């Protein structure tokens, strides 16, 4: 199945877990992100998938045409995933940070990215905050 982000991020996908899994997993694989498999745990917005990448836990969440969030466990080397997702979505992340549980989180925002940056910056719950520029 040839697919890309236009079938699940830029338009709302069918609300069928299997179809969402097929579209998203194939999009990652076709963008050379191997060793990744995600299961759909929410087939309505916000869509949510959990799984693993090279035996490391990974979670993604998104609302079509609004935001995409990548969440990984402490110590997961996320730069490859961030670069890959940037290529998949077609734009750089808005912000990345570490939350209170130590999870590494990267967010891409189409709508109101500045508002989200302001929510994160200066909030003591988040550390290692990094803003990205286009």
Residue 1 has pLDDT above 70, yes or no: no
Write out the E strands in the chain: 36-42, 47-53, 56-63, 67-72, 95-98, 104-109, 127-131
Q: For Cα atoms 123, 81, 27, give the angle at the middle one, nearest 5 degrees.
A: 125
Q: What is the pTM of this model?
A: 0.94
pLDDT 10s digits, 101-120: 999 999 999 998 989 999 99
Judge whether 36 and 53 are in contact, CB under 8 Å: yes
pLDDT 10s digits, 4-39: 999 999 999 999 999 999 999 999 999 999 899 999
Range in 34-48, 60-74, 117-131 the model is least confident about: 117-131
């Amino acid at each position: 199945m040839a697919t890309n982000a236009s079938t699940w991020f830029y338009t709302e996908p069918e609300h069928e877990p299997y179809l969402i899994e097929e579209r998203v997993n194939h999009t990652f694989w076709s963008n050379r992100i191997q060793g990744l498999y995600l299961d759909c745990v929410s087939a309505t917005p916000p869509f949510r998938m959990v799984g693993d990448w090279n035996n490391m836990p990974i979670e993604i969440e998104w609302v079509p045409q609004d935001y995409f969030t990548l969440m990984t466990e402490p110590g997961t080397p996320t730069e490859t995933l961030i670069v890959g997702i940037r290529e998949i979505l077609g734009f750089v992340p808005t912000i990345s940070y570490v939350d209170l549980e130590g999870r590494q989180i990267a967010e891409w925002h189409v709508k109101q990215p500045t508002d989200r940056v302001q929510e994160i910056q200066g909030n003591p719950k988040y550390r290692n905050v990094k803003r990205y520029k286009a």
